[in-house]
Amino acid sequence: MAVIRIGTRGSALALWQTRYIAARLGVLAHGLHVEVVEIVSTGDRITDVPLSDVEGTGFFTATLERALLDGRVDVAVHSFKDLPVEQTPTLSVAAVPARGPVEDVLCARDGLTLDTLPAGARIGTCSARRTAQVKARRPDLEIHPLRGNVPTRVQRVTSGELDAIVLARAGLVRLCLDTYVTEVFPIELMLPAPAQGALAVQCRSGDADLVHLLAALDDAPTRRAVVAERTLLHVLGGGCSVPVGAVAVCDRSQVVLTAGVFTLDGTRALRVEERGADASALGEAAAHRLLALGAGEILDSFNRIARLDPPLVPGVTP
């Protein structure tokens, strides 16, 4: 195993994440040569379709997984929140490194915050979850679709096209663009996406030596937290584009999970908190509590709205 090929998307953030893992591997295994292989995903090719129309399950990750399966690369580095909750057979997430910041942030003109944006301000986001939580606090704001890589999104504010955008804090920090942040949203105001800020380092399950090597990058508290969050999402039957938020924090032997489901117009929000030692059981318990409160009705309604006359996208199954 003198050479490891790591597949990555070509965006600035994906490349940062991959180079970070490559550097960690270089420290772990002396003499190991790590080759970075850029692969264009369906999500990178198609930039004019709202994420809510394509569910998000594999939109950015399926091409990398195919490259793993056919042997073109040995490892893939994903933003964990982009991976489908259904694991691809014969592939394993061998490592979940220590998590970055989990919060969402506002990048606004003139140092404005969500509360100080003027009425009718134009705010960009590609996320139903973020839209719902922004609308709950500021129903007067105009929500505009937001696609493209992180620097391109920030430029839409600096150019004056938009008054503000909502992004994940982790991506901005990793790219040294957090100087554009004008407000960090506490999770009490805006629950992040399940697995936000976490990376998934994936390889073929049968590559035992590689699985063993990658395991040294694993951070146990981060993995436990992400398992709780993604189990909740799996039980609710959602992908990364549904209006579901969740964040788990390890507190010694316990995991504390806060989760929510929101209507797109911001008029209804269901939130629960669960605590337990078993991360999977915790995610299931939180999901069932949300379903008992009416989460299924909210998600069914959202799916009907999002799927109304879905666009025909090459390479993406509606």
Say which residue the tokens 């915050």 belong to.
Answer: 113
In 3D space, the residue among 273, 275, 269 whose CA is nearest the CA of residue 295 turns out to be 269
Q: Are strands 183-184 and 104-108 parallel, antiparallel or unpaired?
A: antiparallel
Contact 41/294 with Cβ under 8 angstroms? no
Q: Are strands 122-124 and 142-144 parallel, antiparallel or unpaired?
A: parallel
Q: Exposed, middle or buried by CB within 10 Å (0-12, 13-18, 19+), for 46? A: middle
300 catalytic residue (yes or no):
no
DSSP string, 75-131: EEEEEGGGS-SSPPTTEEEEE-PPP----EEEEEGGG--TTTSPTT-EEE-S-HHHH
Active-site annotation holder among 53, 82, 163, 207:
82
Task: List the beta bridge partners of residue 91.
Answer: 204
Q: Which DSSP state fits 190?
A: -
Contact 2/31 with Cβ under 8 angstroms? yes
Residues designated catalytic = 82
